[in-house]
Amino acid sequence: MVFEFVTHHGDHQHKNEQHELSDEEKKQQAEILRESLGSLGNDLSYTQLAQFLEANSWNQEHAKHQLESTLIWRQEKKVDFCPVATTKNGLPLLVSVRGFKYIEDGNIQSNKKLSESAIRILNYLGGDCFHKFDKEGHPILIDRTGYHQAKEIGNDVTGEEIKHFQVACNEFLNRVIMVEASEKAGKPIHKETIIFDCTHMGLWQFHMNGLFKLKQVADYVQSYYPETLCRLFVVNAPSAFLVMWKIVRPWLDPKTLDKVQILGKDYKDVLLKYIDSESLPTFLGGSCSCSHLQGGCVPSVNEGRIPFLVKTEDNEKIASVYNSDIMLEAKTNPDYIKVVSS
């Protein structure tokens, strides 16, 4: 799904940083940016400011421009009130999770609080799971890329629906998963490690409408959620992957491309360099099997590991991921929009 639209890399390593700033210099730059934003900057964390600066190679003017557009977009779309699932509010998941405390281990499943569009999208995805942390404390997202139903995503999901879904997933990442990762690491963590498993991938997935949906999402994420990727590993990549890669690659920011490693079958040692064996599923060379839950480490409807989600009349036909009563409740109930310590 989801955050997977940030792809590539390979053999060459082009460095675009002139010189690495010290932590102190980064803090100073963040404060300069905060001041230049006036009252808009009051509520922003150092991490948020640093993300936009980093995305713009620490250019103040460019960072300010991108951050202002993002804040205006968030206000217009009321993104701060987008509900996110936590253990406390019990909202249904949009991504399966394993190994966190602010959100209980669980799978995507049928639920009357989801919208009809969320169910439709979830049934077309290959299977995603936030699965534990890497050695540096970044949360890991594993995606069964080879099982995405690209044609159905292209033809049977609107741009509006996929954007709502993507935003809800990114907000969940920032407001639940990253909060826990930062607490656990004792320092701000705002990047994730992603693994795309291409097992089962074939030319049947290369559908132009599907790829264009991918582009819409990639543009959206790169504009409003910059610098959230630490590393992306594409594993079990077949030669067919390179066909798609040629199309997708120009859509992506060069800084993103530097973080991507495309690997064939020999990926295990590379993954184990960054991820402890107990945090890596057995099917990727680690020792984790998550046998306590149906679907194992990365549940997938399209691989037949968990049941397809079933729609009922309770699932409203709206573009948001949750039904309208949940969206309304989130405007007044803090439990619906963030992790609230008990």
Nearer to Zn ion, 73 or 283 (CB): 283
CB atoms within 10 A of CB 311: 17
Tokens representing 294 are 């149906």
Q: Whole-angstrom Cα distance, residue 124 to residue 77?
A: 26
Regarding 195 and contact with Zn ion (CB under 5 A), the answer is no
Element (H, E) at 192: strand 192-197
Subset of residues 271 to 330 that bind Zn ion, contact rule: CB under 5 A: 288, 290, 297
Report the candidate in 310, 3, 13 with the shortest Cα–Cα distance to residue 140: 3
Least gap, CB of 200 to Zn ion (angstroms): 19
E strand or H helix at 117: helix 116-124
With respect to Zn ion, which residue has the nearer C-beta, 155 or 282?
282
| Smallest separation (angstroms) from Zn ion to the CB of 277 | 11
Number of residues engaging Zn ion in binding (CB under 5 A):
3
Beta carbon nearer to Zn ion, 275 or 290 = 290
For the CB of residue 245, give the shortest distance to Zn ion in the complex, in Å: 28
Q: Between residues 288 and 306, which has the closer beta carbon with respect to Zn ion?
A: 288
Closest CB to Zn ion among residues 50, 142: 142
Q: Minimum Å distance from CB 1 to Zn ion?
A: 18
> Which one, 100 or 241, has the nearer CB to Zn ion?
100
Site for Zn ion in 77-96 (CB under 5 A): none
Residue 104 CB, nearest distance to Zn ion (Å)? 15
The string of DSSP codes covering 133-189 is E-TTS-EEEEE-GGG--HHHHHHHS-HHHHHHHHHHHHHHIIIIIHHHHHHHHTS--
**Cα torsion angle, 48, 102, 128, 288, sign:** positive
d(CA 245, CA 156): 23
- Which parts of 213-252 interact with Zn ion (CB under 5 A)? none
Residue 69 or 282 with smaller CB distance to Zn ion: 282
How far from chain centre, in Å, is Cα 265?
24
Report the relative pairing of strands 139-143 and 128-133 from DSSP bridges. antiparallel
Residues composing the chain: 342
Binding site for Zn ion (CB under 5 A): 288, 290, 297
